[in-house]
Structure 1
Amino acid sequence: MGAPRQAPGAGEGNDDASGRYRPGYELVAEQLLNYIAEQNLRSGDRLPTEQGLAEILGATRNVTREAVKVLAAIGRLSVRRGAGIFVADSAGGMVDDHLSHFRPTSMEDVLMLLDYRTVIESETARRAASLATPIEVRTIRECAEKSMVAARAADSYGFAEADTAFHDAVGAASHNVFLRSSVAGVRRLASQSDVLLFHGDAPGSLEVAAEQHIAIAEAVAAGEADLAAELMVAHIATTQSQFERKIRDRLFNLDSRGASGTPAQPSRSTGATDEPRSPKSSAS
């Protein structure tokens, strides 16, 4: 297949439909993932050089380098000094070769991922409510409470840590290593969407997510299996609405600029010096 269509303003950075600035490397990272999928590249396959990728994607070499860095940081690429750029090896578990083409900014891929997450995590919550030991119940509650403390302090990093700990604690309380591994694997993939779509910004209310954590924790503590499962489904549905809104905003923005032929101007200065911010977890 041919090279992917160049996104409006690729390599420059611009604003999305919600007014959020998107640096050039983020746009080029999306193009690069599409290129890997279109070329049907697999784990271990070698990519062109930075200069070659820049030419293929219609971006500057410096912006392409930053795109490669962020994709390496989220585990999609491997950069080997003196050897080149490669599609990263499978992380194991559910993230195997069949999922190596997961597109973190694709509505279709994200919705399939969230559908799978709903199935897995609702059953995990159900089993946790039936099987959790007193120590596991206390751990789940503590993680939920920590997420609320972080949410009220608008501490996105603290919330991300508590959020991950909460879902892992529920997974551990299911007493099924495969369910727990699946929860961890699906959240690793979701974190890639967090980085490329939300770019360090909270996609929704952290406090609402924390309230949902606490409600799930209380259902688990009370041994109410069906309620715990229902609350987890509602929790993930909140995340889904956030992703849908963000992806639609991005697609609408690209389509509107494609029709006019004039990319929006960035709200601040940009260029090859744009550095990716450290990823944070979404309110999920």
Structure 2
Amino acid sequence: MTASAGRGEADDAAERYRPGYELVAEQLLGYIVEQNLMPGDRLPTEQGLAEILGATRNVTREAVKVLAAMGRLSVRKGAGIFVAASPGELANDQLAHFQPTSMEHVLMLLDYRRLIESETARRAATLATPIEVRAIRENAELTLAAGKTVDAQEFARVDALFHECVGNAAHNLFLRSSVANIRRLLSQSDVLLFHGDLPGSLEVAADQHIAITQAIAMGDDESAAELMTAHIDTTQHQFERRIRDRVFNVSTKPAPAGPQPSEQQASSAS
């Protein structure tokens, strides 16, 4: 093994670290699917979930908080824990079973995103007003600035605005709504897969935003659609790598010594 290969494996091992509450959150989403629970259905108490999932109550509480913040659970004081309404208030309750760390589910979502956002870019290139083109360009340039300073939080903010502006320029209420809902679901994968890490090169993504903007500004609908497709392909490669890291990590993790791991064990799972 070469020295560079050794460093690569060490980097991969570091990337595979995930806090215990994220692992339990993933298990909890799986439990909802296994039990075929739908929006409005009540879950066991924190203590009951901890026993079912083989985790401590503290780690389970943190997992519930994360899923509530993501909009997947609803915690009602004095009433209990419930499966929340489908993300984005979509009519299809099956989206309550979306698994943010499932390769199959994420790839299906990205395939849908590819169809929707390539079409929004195509239409934006022919329908965008000068004001809308300026908004798209301004936010593309802001993503480039955030990418150069490696400001992940700012990049996420202006990245969302960029895609929202492209959606607005398509002048179709349903396309715009679909873009928003797709991003809402993908943000759940960001939380459970990237947990603060940079998913990939922010500058590369920002450069792609600039190219998409130029195609829209020139009215080149075919190029705009193709460039948006390439942009989403890049995102897909990042998700695939992170999910494969997770699957490899789970498959190589030693079995726990007892039925209920301690809080320290759960929070240091790699």
Q: Same fold (TM over 0.5)?
A: yes
Between the aligned partners of 1:182 and 1:37, the Cα distance in structure 2 is 24
Residue 19 of structure 1 corresponds to which residue in structure 2? 14
CA distance in 2 between counterparts of 1:31 and 1:93 reads 23
User: Which of 10, 17, 24 lines up with 1:28 in the alignment?
Assistant: 24
Letter in 1 for 2:100: P
Query: Which deviates more from structure 2 when the two are superposed, residues 95-104 or residues 243-252?
Result: 95-104
- Percent sequence identity over matched residues? 69
Alignment partners' CA distance in 2, 1:90 and 1:102: 9
CA drift of 1:18 comes to 3.5
- State how 1:185-204 maps to structure 2 within 5 Å: 185-204=181-200
Q: 1:87 aligns with which of 77, 83, 89?
A: 83
Which consecutive segments of 4 or more residues in structure 1 shift more than 2 A? 15-18, 90-96, 270-274
Q: What do the CA deviations read for 1:99-149 (whole angstroms, capped 9, x no partner)?
A: 110000000000000000000000000000000000000000000000000
Correspondence 1:166 to 2:150: no
| 1:17–1:249 Cα contact (<8 Å) kept | yes
Structure 1 residue 30, shift from structure 2 partner: 0.3
Unpaired runs of 5+ residues, structure 1, are 1-14, 264-269, 275-284
Deviations 1:11-45 (A, max 9, x none): xxxx9953233111000000000000010000000
Partner of 2:260 in structure 1? none
Match of 1:76 among 69, 72, 95: 72
| Residues 273, 257 of structure 1: alpha-carbon distance in 2 compared, 3 angstrom cutoff | closer
* Aligned pairs (5 A) from 1:38-53: 38-53=34-49
Work out which of the residue numbers 203, 207, 210 in structure 2 matches 1:207: 203
How many residues get paired?
252
Matched, 1:237 2:255: no
Residue in 2 that maps onto 1:219: 215
Task: Report the residue type matching 2:105 in the other structure.
Answer: D
Which residue among 107, 115, 129 is the counterpart of 2:111?
115
Could you tell me which amino acid in structure 2 is paired with residue 220 of structure 1? I
Inter-partner Cα distance in structure 2 for 1:157 and 1:38: 34
The structure-2 alpha-carbon separation of the partners of 1:227 and 1:118, relative to structure 1 and needing over 3 Å to count, comes to same
Distance 2:65 2:256 in 1: 28
Partner of 1:137: 133
Q: Aligned with 2:81: secondary structure?
A: strand
CA distance in structure 1 between the partners assigned to 2:91 and 2:158 by the alignment: 23
Determine the structure 1 residue equivalent to 2:6.
none
Q: Which amino acid aligns with 1:199?
A: H
Amino acid across the alignment from 2:46? E
Residues 242/225 of structure 1: CA separation in 2 closer, same or farther (3 Å cut): same
Q: 1:90 offset after TM fit, Å?
A: 2.8
Verify the 8 A CA contact 1:114 1:236 in the aligned structure 2. yes
How far, CA to CA, are the matches of 2:243 and 2:206 in structure 1? Answer: 23
Tell me, which stretches of 5 or more residues in structure 2 are unaligned?
A: 1-9, 258-262
How far apart are residue 256 of structure 1 and its match? 1.7
Cα distance between partner residues in 1 of 2:11 and 2:37: 29
Instruction: Assess, with a 3 A threshold, how the Cα gap between structure 1 residues 162 and 79 changes in structure 2: closer, same or farther.
Output: same
Moved more, 93-102 or 121-130: 93-102
Aligned equivalent of 2:247: 251
Q: Secondary structure at the match of 1:154?
A: coil
TM-score (normalizing by structure 1)? 0.85
- How far does residue 217 in structure 1 lie from its aligned partner after superposition? 0.4
Question: Which residue type is aligned with residue 32 of structure 2?
Answer: I
SS in 2 for 1:78: strand
Q: Give me the CA root mean square deviation.
A: 1.9
Over 3 Å counting, the alpha-carbon distance change for 1:16 and 1:39 in structure 2 is farther
In structure 2, what is the Cα distance between the partners aligned to 1:95 and 1:76? 15
What SS does the aligned partner of 1:18 have? Answer: helix
Cα separation, partners in 2 of 1:16 and 1:96, compared to 1, 3 Å? farther
- Please say if residues 75 and 82 of structure 2, whose CA atoms lie closer than 8 Å, have aligned partners that are also in contact: yes
Please state whether the residue corresponding to 2:98 is helix, strand or coil.
coil
